[in-house]
Structure 1
Amino acid sequence: MAGLDPADWTSLRALGHRMLDDMFDRAERAGEGPVWQPMPQAARSDVRNAQLPRQGAALPDVYDRFQSLVAPYPTGNTHPGFMGWVHGGGTMPGMLAEMLSAGLNMNCGGRDHAAVEVERTVIGWAAEMVGMPSNSSGVLVTGSSMANFIAVITASRKADPAFRSRGVGAASLVGYAAATAHGCVARAFDLAGFGTDALRIVPTDAQHRMRADVLAEMIDADRAAGLRPFMVVATAGTVDCGAVDDLQALGSVARDHGLWFHVDAAFAALARLSPTYGPLLDGIEKADSLAFDFHKWAQVPYDCGCILVRDAEAHAAAFAQSLDYLTRAERGLAGNAPWFCDFGPDLSRGFRALKVWMTLQHFGAGGMAEVVDRSCAVARHIEARVLAEPVFELLAPVTLNIVCFSVRDLDDTQVASLIEDLHESGIAAPSTTRIAGRLAIRAAIVNHRTTDRDADRMLDEVLRLAVLRRTVR
């Protein structure tokens, strides 16, 4: 062995091909078997109680442990029956791109190499997808939680550049989001040092959208009280029922009051590519910043979030550093500024852009739009069945791909138990949320493999379990 390279490349190649074939087989049979199954206690204990290896093991033996202890017990989001949290189903181009990027092992914090150019291209494509300016800055991150955090930091430092040197102190900055906003927005205010109380919660209308009229009143009231409003956070595709805020109206309020307008479009940004659903996001192109995930509707393997910022100078001013050991040069490997570490907190960054670059090249924007349309069509199918079945009750309007419903005459405890039974059956895996205080069965159709047939299997089993519970009451 030279360093950590293998002594026998031929055997390694054979094992690698076996691994790849196993993953191809798994993807080809993604709809077979249970969506999810609990990890047996024996396997769980085997993983948890393993001691730090003092001597290395043969790679085929390590792979056998993976096959027996890890591979059978995934989240299940590659299965078409997965309808829970908003997880993409993944694709083969994305999987292969992950392998290629790992082989290249490039640090994409900066410097002059091809991966940086690929990521710049992907950021440009992302801006084009939603209609933001071609010179918008951006960076790929772990997910929308980090993207929203970067947006809060950028907006606050645009409001007061001295935060970088003096800290937030008693800044009295406040921002605004609807009650339906993702929890990561409040967490971003917390991590930024403003505290969660600095995020003002704006009430919603019957469509679960932030009320623009109340927002304007709250901004005026906070200013009159001596506070400093600095940003509005709208949501395109709420995490509970998929509602889309009126981005045109909220953007106008933000601009009229001189506030930064941010849109959290974690999954729904991709709907902008659909001629059918794209108009629901009108106004997104006027955002000062936008957060979304390629690992949701774009089906890129985890993880890959994106933050876009209209004002590249403000973005860089919030994060860029001048350090002796990171000096930029005119030529050579230390050239090609600005670097991606100038637009976020990470210096060490993987080659996330490759899987996006390969996925979009292979399927195209049209292919992504078809995924959106098919997902929403399945959601409409579920909605129609829920409305037609007297046992079911629709709890929220269906805007895009999420259907929230419940079972009449069952209390929250019974509904929660029903979902647990459904998960353990392996037939389907929806999640739950609360709508107007009631526990809802939440079917989120994100996986490109999910069809009406998968939806019917889920609904048939929910109906069967519901009838059993109503009978024993």
Structure 2
Amino acid sequence: MSVDNTTPPDRTAPLAPAGATVPPLEPADWEEFRALGKRIIDDTVDYLAGLRERPVWQPVPDEARAALGRGLPEHPTPMAAVYDEFRSTVMPYPRGNIHPRFWGWVNGSGLPVAAYADLLASVMNCTLGSGENAAMMVEEQVIEWLKQVFDWPAEGSGILTSGCSMGQIVALAAARQAGAGRWDIRHDGAGAAPRLTVYGSTETHHSFEKAVELLGIGTAFFRAIPVDGDFRIDVAALRRAIREDRAAGFHPLCLVGNIGTVNTGAIDPLDELVTVAREEGLWLHLDGAFGAFAYLLPTHRGTLAGMREADSLVFDLHKWFYMPFDVSCVLVRRPGILEETFGSNADYISRTTSGPAAYPVAFSDRGIEQSRRFRALKVWFALKTHGIHAFARSIAGNIDQVAHLTRLVDAAPRLETVSRSDLNVVCFRYVLPDAGTDELNAVNQEILTRLQVGGLAVPSHTIIDGTFVIRVANTNHRTVKDDMDFLVDQVVSIGDELAGNRAGTGA
């Protein structure tokens, strides 16, 4: 998108009228501000209540693109006019993940009560680096609640982050600090230690590779271990890779396991990974970006029991815990390791004997960010409002809806299940008799495009063994089983139309 910069800004005007008494960035009329706020809340509630009647997604039209490409505003515009422009150029064209028929890329659906909490967090405008204030205590409380959710050791620690991409960096840095032994990597750099190696399956999320790169370990030393027929890490191949690296003089550091891979929702054999990590002296890091919250369900707790033995765990609350973006969490088993990894002695944030700077907790010493927004409030608000059992029921409902979808696909003569996880992900495709892989891939891509561009539904896609598949990852608290019926009906209808066109052309 190009931005119009053809008109040079006029900066010769005075910055403020002579004798002005109102700060230039405060509302000039608080009653006008109040009235607009009430209108925004009313419109927001109407918008959320009417989601099902609107397209899931639609392209941004040229006139909205043009408006969003205009240059820097030099002069004020009335608040109500700015809001009206938002309603016409921004609000109608979202990503779509708040809609009941959005199942793409594992995006959370956003709880209404949490949106209110985000507004309140912005009004308070606290930064949660250090210092005594209630916002710091709310984050501490939320972390304690999350430790209880996952039966995490009481002495363990944690921090809320923007997402698991940041969480991977925090956790791997802690693993490096814990495993570097006598080498002072914080002072001397990554080159001070022997060559470190880390291990994960070929299905490991690409954010972990970014963490390996940014921490100076290097992707050449990330061992991508093959997977079995269920897309889980091959433990025998993992053990061989570790032995070979030790024999070659490398220093195996960390093993990452997956609780719900991004492609297929596969869960690595966690108990076996715990055994390997303990026998080999590796830090066990688990990526539970969306799958971790299945631990709330008795049906899945046994499969995920090994999660409690990990050294670190990351999970996104803005995925399968339905929070608005962004809020994620890192939990670590070893107390103090985050402070060892990230703690700072800067004078301006040093602790005093009294006042706000005397507070004993500093989240800025547990991660990379010094400036941190009040992410915890929406989690606190939502858990207080709904209670943990309501979240468990919604998660169980998502799994049941995907099971229903799988049954529909298996019963449809022209559909084929390609992959199905024990969680909330299923990959399937439309099939044509006597069609080759390339033709089937093209047909399914066209089906997906028509679903998305038509605003009917937004699953996403992936490639499994060269096969283009329609991928449903259901982390949507608004979805019901009827939405899955609708999806299958539309896929079959569009596919049959394409098949008819194919027959008409003699293809």
> How would you bin the TM-score normalised by the shorter chain?
over 0.9
SS across alignment from 2:303: helix
Structural mapping, 1:56-67, within 5 Å: 56-67=76-87
Cα distance in 1 for residues equivalent to 2:329 and 2:51: 27
For 1:166, the equivalent position in structure 2 comes to 188
Could you say which residue in structure 2 is the equivalent of 1:109? 129
Q: Is the 8 A contact 1:297 1:371 kept in 2?
A: no
- The residue aligned with 2:270 is 247
Please name the residue that 1:4 is paired with: 25
How many correspondences in the alignment? 472
- Secondary structure, counterpart of 1:124 in structure 2: helix
Residue 96 of structure 2: which of 55, 76, 88 is its match? 76
Match of 2:10 in 1: none
Contact 1:380 / 1:398 at 8 angstroms: preserved in 2? Answer: no
* Residue 333 of structure 1: how far off its partner (Å): 1.1
> What CA distance in whole angstroms lies between the structure 2 residues aligned with 1:275 and 1:123?
22
Q: CA deviation at 1:438?
A: 1.1
SS at match of 2:419: coil
- Given residue 264 of structure 1, which amino acid in structure 2 is its aligned partner? D
- Which secondary structure does the structure 2 equivalent of 1:306 belong to? strand
Q: Which residue of 2 aligns with 1:31?
A: 52
Candidates 139, 143, 162, aligned match of 1:123:
143
Gaps of at least 5 residues in structure 2 are 1-21, 433-438, 503-507
1:96 corresponding residue in structure 2: 116
Corresponding residue number in structure 1 for 2:374: 351
C-alpha distance in 1, partners of 2:205/2:129? 28
Q: Which amino acid aligns with 2:75?
A: Q
Does the 8 A contact of 1:276 with 1:373 survive in 2? no
Q: Distance in 2 between matches of 1:168 and 1:30?
A: 50
Query: How far did 1:4 drift?
Result: 2.2
What amino acid is aligned across from residue 100 of structure 2 in structure 1? Answer: P
Q: Is the 8 A contact 1:124 1:136 kept in 2?
A: no
SS of 1:321's partner is: coil
Is residue 94–residue 300 contact of structure 1 (8 Å, CA) maintained in 2?
yes
| SS of residue paired to 2:44 | helix
Give the distance between the partners of 1:149 and 1:371, measured in 2 at CA: 30
What whole-Å deviation, never above 9, does each CA across 1:60-87 have from its counterpart, x for those lacking one?
1110110001000001111101011111
In the other structure, the counterpart of 1:267 is 290
Moved more, 333-342 or 257-266: 333-342
Q: Distance in 2 between matches of 1:191 and 1:116?
A: 29
* Partner Cα distance (1:331, 1:434) in 2: 58
Question: Within 1, Cα distance between the matches of 2:23 and 2:345?
Answer: 38
Deviation at 1:3, TM superposition (A): 4.6
1:438 maps to 467
Q: What amino acid sits opposite 1:156 in the alignment?
A: R
Question: Which residues in structure 2 correspond to 1:402-441 (within 5 Å)?
Answer: 402-409=425-432, 410-441=439-470
Pairing partner for 2:154 from 106, 110, 134: 134
TM-score by length of 1: 0.98
Q: Distance in 1 between the 2:231 and 2:404 partners?
A: 21
Equivalent of 1:18, from 39, 49, 67?
39
The alpha-carbon deviation at position 312 of structure 1 amounts to 2.4
* Residues 145-178 of structure 1, C-alpha deviations (whole Å, 9 max, x = no match): 1001111111011111511111112741010011
How many percent identity over aligned positions?
38
Q: Distance in 2 between matches of 1:131 and 1:165?
A: 35
The 2-side partners of 1:394 and 1:462 are apart by: 13
Distance of 2:153 and 2:199 partners within structure 1: 25
Paired letter, 2:445: A
SS of the counterpart of 2:299? Answer: coil
* RMSD of aligned residue pairs (Cα, Å): 1.2
- Larger Rg over CA atoms: 2
1:40-98 Cα distance to aligned partner (Å, 9 max, x none)? 022112102x1111111111111011000100000111110101111111112100100
Match of 2:398 among 362, 371, 375: 375
Q: How far has the Cα of 1:205 moved from its partner?
A: 1.3
The residue identity in structure 1 corresponding to 2:113 is P
C-alpha separation between the residues in 1 aligned to 2:301 and 2:78?
52
Q: Give the Cα separation in 1 of the matches to 2:449 and 2:47.
A: 25
Post-superposition Cα deviations, 1:355-376, rounded to whole Å, max 9, x if no partner, equal: 0111111111111111110000
Aligned counterparts, 1:223-234, within 5 A: 223-234=246-257
- In the alignment, which residue of structure 2 is the partner of 1:281? 304
Shift of 1:413: 2.3
Structure 1 residue 196 and structure 2 residue 219: aligned? Answer: yes
Residues 299-310 of structure 1 mapped to structure 2, 5 A cutoff: 299-310=322-333
Q: Which whole-Å CA distance do the structure 1 matches of 2:468 and 2:189 have between them?
A: 41
**Which is further off, 342-351 or 401-410?**
401-410
Amino acid at match of 2:287: D
Q: Which residue does 1:296 correspond to in 2?
A: 319
Tell me the amino acid that sits aligned with residue 237 of structure 1. G
- Identify unmatched segments of 5+ residues in structure 1: none
